Amino acid sequence: MKPKNNQIRNIRQLIQLFHSYGIQLTGRKKLRRFQDQLKMDEIFVHGLIFEVEYLLQKEIEGNWEDLNCPKDVIERALIEN
């Protein structure tokens, strides 16, 4: 099944957003924990999640505390898309 053009555009936009926060998504880097390994304060993590919601024009449902790494945020954002 081929991804839709919207999905590809959303993925590209998410990659750019994470890069603007200095977060690389290649290899195992996408599995780094926000607070422990990336040294991000909780407020910045919540700001990142808010920007993901704004970028995709949708609300990420569930507990944000369960989103521990970039991969978690991207999966949740794209699954609900």
- Dump pLDDT digits (tens) for 22-34: 999 999 999 999 9
CB 58 within 8 A of CB 80: yes
Write down the pLDDT at residue 40.
96
* Average pLDDT of the segment spanning 13-21: 97
Give the residue-averaged pLDDT of 50-72.
94
Helix-strand-coil split of the chain, %, nearest 5: 60, 0, 40
Q: How confident is residue 5, by pLDDT bands cut at 50, 70 and 90?
A: confident
pTM, to two decimals: 0.87
